[in-house]
Amino acid sequence: MSAPTIGVSLRPERAYAAVVHGATAVPVEPVAPARNDADGVIAAAVAEARRAAPQGADAVTVDIAPVLLDALLRPDSEIPPVAVVRVVPRAATDPVLAQSPAAAVERRVAGRWTVGGGHDLLGNELRPLDRPGLARIAAELAATGIRHVAVVAAGSQARPAHEREVADAIQAAVPGARISVASDYGGQGLTAREATVVLDCALTPLAERLLDRCERTLARLPGDVRLRVARGDGGYSTPSRIRVTPVMAFGATDALELCGAAHLAGLDDCRVLLDRDGSPAAGEVRHRLAVVRLAEQPQLGTELVVPTAALTPEPPGSRGGDVPVIRAPHDQRLLACVGAAIARPASWLDEVAFIESADELERVRRDAEERATAMVMANGAAPGTTHIAEISTVAVPYSPSGTVRIRVRVAGAPDDTPAGR
Amino acid sequence: MSGTAGYLGAMASISAEDVPALYEGAKFYSPAVGDAGRSSVTSWLAGLLERNGPVPLMRVESVAPDTQCVAVCVLGSGSAMADLPPAGDEFVLAVRQIERLQKVRFGAVYPLAAATISALVPVVTAAQLGVPLLDADGMGRTFALIHHTAMHLAGVSPTPLVAVGPTGESVLVEVLSGPRADRMLRANVDTVGGWAALAAYPVDAGTLRRAALPGTMSRITNVGRVLLETTDPEALVTRLGAITGCRRVARGRIAELEHLSRQNDVTIPAHPSSLVVEETGGLGRQLRIELRSEIVAVFADGALIAGAPDLMCLLDVSRGALATLDSLEPGDLIDVLVTPADAVWYSPEGMEMVGLASHGIPLEHPRRR
Amino acid sequence: MRARPSTSPITLGELARIRPLAGAELHLADPARTVEQVVLAETFDRLRHCLPHELVVLHDEAATGGWSLAAALHLAWERNLSAVVVSRTVAGASSAALAERLAMSLIVVEDDPIEVALQLAGQVSAPAAARAQRQARIAELLAEQTGIRGVLGVLNRELQGVPVALVVGEVVVAGQAAALAERPQARQIEVEVHAAGERSAARLVAAAPVPGPAGVDQVASLLRLARPSLQAAWARSRLDAAARAAHEQAAFGLLRRLGDGEAPSWTAELGWQVGLHNRAVWLAPERPEGEPSEEVTYLIRASWQRGHGGWPLIAEGDGWISWHSGPDADDVAALRRALTGFRDSAVAHRLVVGVGRAHEGVGGLMRSVAEARLAAHVAREAGAGSVQWFDQVGAAAALAWLPTTEIAQVADLTLAELMAAKDRAPLVQTVLAVLDAGGSLSQASKQLGVHRNTVLARLARARQLGLTYDEPGQRLALHVLCYALTTLWSRSRSGSEPSPP
């Protein structure tokens, strides 16, 4: 049997953990005087894993999403102010269109600027970058003292040139600025892409603090236990990746609870009913992966371009389906811990491409698969263990003939080699 | 037919509270585009309605026959619009240009197609212009080209029309025959960023009484309310059936997505693709769903069971919500819903313009057999 | 059943064997389905006017994508057509699935559909010509074959659904054994294959389903077509086999003299594997009759090597040696399969089989050969077709190998009193049972099924007659002697009349 794994769920009020070893999942409770914060719970979990197997655990996967969400929604939290720079052909003329539709996102925005520029979805330039305007804005921004900057350019998924130039100019004007650019995430929709980079900027210091703390705790403990961080899609990534893209960790808890419930029920494919504020909410697990999509985050009021397990309110009475339905019977905090402990490295890619023949479609698909596979290895998968979990290519309606949207999801197995550590 | 069914619960005005229902209902009548731009466009409209007050929604019969009216819609792709959101003044700019050209003042706005985002932008335009919105449209759903309208069948010209892109650039089109307008516009739409605000079919209300499809805005709001009420697919199908006449023809899991699956006619946007679905209950049939920008035909074991101009949409059973064509994935469990379109589309002229043959499927429509 | 050229409608199965359909992707719901006419359908309207048993080739409007093929399959099913032929560009995986669901034959071609339709139309309107064309093609294929297996391979491929086997006596030498199976709706067709100077004639046997995709007369004419190739291959392989047998025999002798050590490289040239775990098999006649003839060796080789072409077969003494080498000493799956496959032949040739244990290296192989030989002697007790593994018999095999007749002669000289006694058999049997039981009287009485006192009484009488079994110095010799006598007596009792197979 392989080594036990540990899943930790960091909640605002305290931390929870579970040790999963083969088919058994044991909740961990620190015994007083040990504390039930991250340090105390991780230490207790590592000790519990040693009791389960002499070699102890080889990894801890931590879900930091509840703490991130809590900090975002709490007005008094220490989240830094963020400046937003949009690169679009024209500035919005309507105040609502000028800002994010999500109050939780907009609350973090301390200033907004628009630079003329941008591309269409296929990478054609719609307007040359307004360089004099950019210089002016960079100077203004530097004067505000804001150090966290989110940059989003129309069409940067297809051609990031404008976005990069803006980021470079701001970096030069504001030394030490923490800049997030939307082209790092791909995806669809300016609103969702902007919200993603705003959160990314805003959450960076908090994510760093949390991960530093977990790593320090693990360094003090015996054995060589690696830290992993749960992603919104229920997979995991490395702490170094999450430090630069903390928004990937956002919203992980739903997917982890779904996978945890399926694991405890011994099912690869099922529908899981979770309790959300006293009402049942449903999600699905297929091939041991939570079904995720790009959907509006209910607590945020906007979409992001990183996928999460979108739960649906479950109406009373059963529905017709061909998969078993399980009602999560356990403490849901334990489910998240189990889900984190069994998480696998994962990646996701969502792009628009243009094809003119079936051969070209095949080439575009292969190319997307290869890039998603490279991403999952960067997230900690062992070479040779990766597989394409989902792939879909759909024609984009009302777009020029040949425009396709490609989504690829890749999962792998942990890299246990010393080089992979 | 559904035209009269839609008049159940006709509304007198549209306010900010109606926006979510309007959005969902608009998706039912054209499940083409996903929700990437949803929060942006709904909060824009809700903000306008809060600031400027509700937009009066009037039956065509209840406005003076000499009132000048103009249709608006989004030309091009909803994903392009999500990625390059409007600055906000595009629709008003388009309408004002026609006003200047024709030296008229429009007294009402109406949707060119009361479906997808094109059902929301007329409300935006009416709110910005401070004029009423007509409870009628030209398609009762969406079709691919801008002359696929009841107005065109009634002899109303789509031009002069103006398209304004998110770049602020615009194009004015005047043609001798309606079908040429779309061809002239497409290239321009790609140039200005993949979508444009379109103002077209300037016409008096008296003509619209016989040329537009009545009650379609009220209908989509009612449908939207049903969709927001529950996520139970059984309840949804029953309730939607009661107000739209739709029925479920099959439930199954998506097995495969095929591309370029029919001969490609480049004058119509989006290339042909197909969905292969394994029916999960019943006879275990193999369904083939032929797509363009909309669903154009449904085959069960090779037998044609529904086809354009029928309105076909997919319900994601596990979420109890409409599945949009750009978010389908193998493994999804879906209900295939078929709704009869407005009667005008089953006339010989309507069938010739938007029927199966226009999609390269030379089979007799199941409703004709 | 000869001559009359068939004018019955051609079947899908037959069409699929000749150009242009040969090489096409076939999804045949029923190969026996006849094709009465070929229709090139450009429109769905044309499809709607097709008649049952017609084969339709889709073209133009009727072949514009997956949907059109799906609709065409449905129409074909409604109109009870024989098959739908379509270009590769139109068909996808889901089309094949739908064809299967509707039980409609679907044929996907690479060539231009119009060309295909024209050629098919010619073949369907003149079935005799099409069949002649097919026979000519098969004759060409047969002529290219140099081995028996190759010839049978062609026949079985061409006559799909009609198993064909080459049979000598009752033994299947090549092809599919299903040809011999009695089936209610199949007719057996036989063609003799004579070879010069043969004692036993070989026969080609085919089991043609009635009604089936190929008419009985066509099957017969195909078998006759194969006869010359088969005779040539038969003679050639006999010649080759004789040379090879001599070569292998000499090589094995050399190997035996090498004793322990590395397997020489020439073993690999013979296709032998030595060096891993070697498990030997001894094929021996149930009743030894001296060295077997070349012809018998040939037949045994043919059936032993069916499906295990690489396994050696070396005639030695009155039997044959073979062996299997593998990386895992305990993996006997391949060997078991071979033995199961050989069972019918073993019965037919009245052979028994002994299997040695797995040992490493050349020395190990020789040891395994010795064990296999001992095991084969034990197998003889169970009659023809039986298999004995040395792992299971152990020392009993050694005892079985003793020259019992000679030992019994020793008894005649040294235990004259005992041998003269009338009750010698139960006495010897009792002593043997006691010795087998390690001296335990109660175990011996249980095994013999007599009372303990009876055992005691018999032992006392045996001792009086010279069977001093309780003297340690004599115990082993007497144990062997008792075994030999018991075996000899029981064999002469049961073996006086050979039991039928």
Write the CATH number for B201: 3.40.1610.10
**pLDDT, tens digit (0-9, with 9 covering 90-100), for A126-144:** 999 999 999 999 999 999 9
Instruction: Using the 3D structure, point to which of B216, B245, B277 is the last residue of a domain.
Output: B216
Strands (E), C198-268: 202-209
Contact status, residue B52 vs residue B45, Cβ threshold 8 Å: no
Touching subunits for chain A (3+ Cβ pairs under 8 A):
B
Task: Find the CB nearest B84 among A118, A291, A310.
Answer: A118
Cα radius of gyration (chain C): 33
Please tell me if residue B279 touches chain C, with a CB cutoff of 8 Å: no
Nearest CA in chain C to B304: C71
Residues of chain B with pLDDT under 70: 1-9, 260-270, 368-369
Q: Is residue C105 part of a domain?
A: yes
Instruction: Using the 3D structure, point to which of C400, C429, C458 is the last residue of a domain.
Output: C400
Contact status, residue C174 vs residue C233, Cβ threshold 8 Å: no
Rounded Cα distance, C448 and B15, in Å: 106
Instruction: Using the 3D structure, point to which of C382, C400, C418 is the last residue of a domain.
Output: C400
Q: In 3-state terms, what secondary structure has residue A347?
A: strand
Q: Which helix (H) or strand (E) holds A271?
A: strand A270-276
Contacts of C17 (CB under 8 A, 6+ apart): C134, C137, C158
CB pairs under 8 A between A and B: 218
Question: Mean pLDDT score of chain C, rounded to an integer?
Answer: 80
Task: Find the CB nearest C94 among B272, B286, B361.
Answer: B286
Domain containing A163 equals 78-203
Nearest CA in chain B to C67: B288
Report the pLDDT value the prediction gives residue A402, as an integer from 0 to 100. Answer: 81
Torsion of CA B302, B304, B310, B312, to 10 degrees: -20
Which pair of structure tokens corresponds to residue C356? 């040695």
Which pair of structure tokens corresponds to residue B282? 């019943």
Same domain, B6 and B151: yes
Which pair of structure tokens corresponds to residue A11? 């909640």
**pLDDT, tens digit (0-9, with 9 covering 90-100), for B287-318:** 999 988 889 999 999 999 999 999 999 999 98
Rounded Cα distance, C123 and C106, in Å: 18
Exposure b/e, B354-363, CB count within 10 A at least 16 = b = bbbbbbbbeb
Helix, strand, coil share of chain C (percent; to 5) = 50, 15, 30
Query: Can you say how many angstroms the Cα of residue C43 is from the centroid of all Cα atoms in its chain?
Result: 53
Task: Find the CB nearest A303 among B39, B317, B320.
Answer: B39
Q: Is residue C243 part of a domain?
A: no
If one counts the domains in chain C, the total is 4
Please tell me if residue A362 touches chain B, with a CB cutoff of 8 Å: no
**Chain A: closest CA distance from residue B284 (Å):** 13
Q: Map tokens 């067709």 to a residue.
A: C189
Contact status, residue C361 vs residue C355, Cβ threshold 8 Å: no
**Chain B: closest CA distance from residue C43 (Å):** 8
Task: Find the CB nearest B299 among C64, C67, C92.
Answer: C67
Rounded Cα distance, A414 and A416, in Å: 6
φ/ψ region of C221 (left if φ > 0, alpha if ψ in -120 to 50, else beta) reads alpha
Starting at the edge strand that comes first in sequence, how are the strands of the sheet with C25-27 ordered? Answer: C25-27, C105-109, C83-87, C54-58, C37-41
Same domain, B163 and B280: no
Nearest CA in chain B to A356: B260
**Chain B: closest CA distance from residue A28 (Å):** 34
Which pair of structure tokens corresponds to residue A210? 């949390």
Q: How far apart are the first and last CA of chain B?
A: 18
For residue B233, whether the previous peptide bond is cis, meaning omega lies within 30 degrees of 0, is: no
Partner-chain contact B288 C70, CB within 8 Å:
yes
Angle, CA of C158, C163 and C167, to the nearest 5°? 115
Task: Find the CB nearest C102 among B274, B276, B301.
Answer: B301
Touching subunits for chain C (3+ Cβ pairs under 8 A):
B
Which amino acid would we find at residue B161? L
Q: In 3-state terms, what secondary structure has residue A87?
A: strand
Contacts of C309 (CB under 8 A, 6+ apart): none
Q: What is the mean pLDDT of residues A181-196?
A: 91
B280 by Cβ neighbours in 10 Å (0-12 / 13-18 / 19+) ranks as middle
Q: Which of B322, B344, B369 is nearest to B143 (CA)?
A: B344
Same domain, C275 and C352: yes
Q: Which of B227, B223, B225 is nearest to B245 (CA)?
A: B223
Report the pLDDT value the prediction gives residue A130, as an integer from 0 to 100. Answer: 97
Q: Is residue B204 part of a domain?
A: yes
Please tell me if residue A312 touches chain B, with a CB cutoff of 8 Å: yes
Rounded Cα distance, C91 and C73, in Å: 11
Helices (H), B196-342: 205-211, 216-229, 233-244
Please tell me if residue B102 touches chain A, with a CB cutoff of 8 Å: no
pLDDT tens, residue order, chain C (501 aa): 444 445 678 888 888 888 888 888 899 988 888 888 888 888 888 888 889 999 999 988 888 878 889 999 999 998 899 999 998 888 888 888 899 889 999 999 988 888 888 888 888 888 777 777 777 888 888 888 877 788 888 888 877 778 888 887 666 777 888 888 777 778 888 888 765 555 556 788 888 877 655 567 778 888 888 888 887 777 776 667 677 777 777 888 878 777 666 777 777 667 677 777 889 998 888 887 777 777 777 778 877 877 666 678 888 877 888 888 888 878 888 888 888 888 888 888 888 999 988 888 888 888 888 888 888 888 887 888 888 888 877 666 666 666 777 777 777 778 888 888 888 888 888 888 888 777 788 888 888 888 888 888 888 888 888 888 777 777 777 887 888 888 777 766 543 333 333
- Residue A346: phi and psi, rounded to 5, are -145, 160
Q: Is residue C291 part of a domain?
A: yes
> What pairs with residue A282 in β-bridges?
A273, A312
Residue of higher predicted confidence among A81 and A383: A81
Partner-chain contact C67 B258, CB within 8 Å:
no
Report the pLDDT value the prediction gives residue C238, as an integer from 0 to 100. Answer: 66
**Chain C: closest CA distance from residue B302 (Å):** 4
Nearest CA in chain A to B74: A398
**Chain B: closest CA distance from residue C201 (Å):** 55
Q: Is residue A115 part of a domain?
A: yes
Please tell me if residue B117 touches chain A, with a CB cutoff of 8 Å: no
Pair type for strands C319-326 and A226-230: unpaired
Q: Which of B313, B333, B292, B319 is nearest to B27 (CA)?
A: B313
- Residue A279: phi and psi, rounded to 5, are -115, 150
If one counts the domains in chain A, the total is 2
Rounded Cα distance, C198 and B119, in Å: 92
Same domain, B92 and B174: yes
Rounded Cα distance, A96 and B19, in Å: 15
Q: What is the mean pLDDT of residues A151-168?
A: 94
If one counts the domains in chain B, the total is 2
Same domain, B347 and B207: no
Rounded Cα distance, B75 and B158, in Å: 13
Q: Which of A83, A201, A93 is nearest to A137 (CA)?
A: A83
Partner-chain contact A394 B39, CB within 8 Å:
no
Interface with A, mutate which of B326, B328, B335, B359 (most A CBs under 10 A):
B326
Q: In 3-state terms, what secondary structure has residue B110?
A: strand
Write the CATH number for C353: 3.30.70.270
Nearest CA in chain B to C47: B363
Task: Find the CB nearest B166 among A90, A296, A394.
Answer: A90
Task: Find the CB nearest A296 among B39, B88, B260.
Answer: B39
Report the pLDDT value the prediction gives residue B9, as an integer from 0 to 100. Answer: 63
Contact status, residue B199 vs residue B171, Cβ threshold 8 Å: no
Domain containing C462 equals 404-495
Q: Is residue C134 part of a domain?
A: no
Same domain, C430 and C379: no
Q: What is the 3-state secondary structure (H, E, C) of C80-119?
A: CCCEEEEECCCCCHHHHHHHHHHCCEEEEECCCHHHHHHH
Partner-chain contact A400 B190, CB within 8 Å:
yes
Q: Which helix (H) or strand (E) holds A269?
A: none
Which pair of structure tokens corresponds to residue A234? 């229920």
> What pairs with residue C321 in β-bridges?
C282, C314
**Chain A: closest CA distance from residue B84 (Å):** 6
Rounded Cα distance, B186 and C11, in Å: 54
Please tell me if residue B139 touches chain C, with a CB cutoff of 8 Å: no
Which pair of structure tokens corresponds to residue B4? 């009269």
Interface with B, mutate which of C94, C101, C104, C106 (most B CBs under 10 A):
C94
Same domain, B283 and B164: no
**Chain A: closest CA distance from residue B66 (Å):** 32
Which pair of structure tokens corresponds to residue C15? 């069409």
Q: Is residue C413 part of a domain?
A: yes
Same domain, C157 and C199: yes
Contacts of C307 (CB under 8 A, 6+ apart): C337, C338, C341
Pair type for strands A59-63 and A5-10: parallel
Contacts of C261 (CB under 8 A, 6+ apart): C361, C362, C363
**pLDDT, tens digit (0-9, with 9 covering 90-100), for B113-150:** 999 999 999 999 999 999 999 999 999 999 989 999 99
Rounded Cα distance, C82 and B98, in Å: 63
Pair type for strands A15-21 and B247-259: unpaired
Question: Mean pLDDT score of chain A, rounded to an integer?
Answer: 89
Nearest CA in chain B to C64: B262
Top mean pLDDT of A35-44, A411-420, B132-141, B227-236 is at B132-141
Contact status, residue A162 vs residue A128, Cβ threshold 8 Å: no
Rounded Cα distance, A80 and B355, in Å: 57
Please tell me if residue B19 touches chain A, with a CB cutoff of 8 Å: no
Q: Is residue A133 part of a domain?
A: yes
Contacts of A202 (CB under 8 A, 6+ apart): A72, A79, A80, A82, A108, A148
Please tell me if residue B304 touches chain C, with a CB cutoff of 8 Å: yes
Same domain, B82 and B29: yes
C443 by Cβ neighbours in 10 Å (0-12 / 13-18 / 19+) ranks as middle
Write the CATH number for A184: 3.40.50
Please tell me if residue B228 touches chain A, with a CB cutoff of 8 Å: no
Q: Map tokens 């993996």 to a residue.
A: C331
Cα radius of gyration (chain A): 22
Report the pLDDT value the prediction gives residue C261, as an integer from 0 to 100. Answer: 67
**pLDDT, tens digit (0-9, with 9 covering 90-100), for A199-246:** 999 999 999 999 999 999 999 988 889 999 999 999 999 999 999 999
Domain containing B306 equals 231-358
Write the CATH number for B346: 2.40.390.10
Report the pLDDT value the prediction gives residue B260, as an integer from 0 to 100. Answer: 66
Instruction: Using the 3D structure, point to which of A149, A168, A203 is the last residue of a domain.
Output: A203
Rounded Cα distance, C478 and C465, in Å: 13
**Chain B: closest CA distance from residue A51 (Å):** 41
Nearest CA in chain B to C60: B263
Partner-chain contact B301 C74, CB within 8 Å:
yes
Please tell me if residue B358 touches chain C, with a CB cutoff of 8 Å: no
Rounded Cα distance, A393 and B333, in Å: 17
**Chain C: closest CA distance from residue B301 (Å):** 6
Which pair of structure tokens corresponds to residue A158? 């297809």
Rounded Cα distance, C328 and C351, in Å: 28
**Chain B: closest CA distance from residue C96 (Å):** 11
Same domain, C123 and C54: yes
Write the CATH number for C118: 3.40.1390.20
Same domain, B22 and B167: yes
**pLDDT, tens digit (0-9, with 9 covering 90-100), for A379-407:** 888 888 888 888 888 888 888 878 888 88
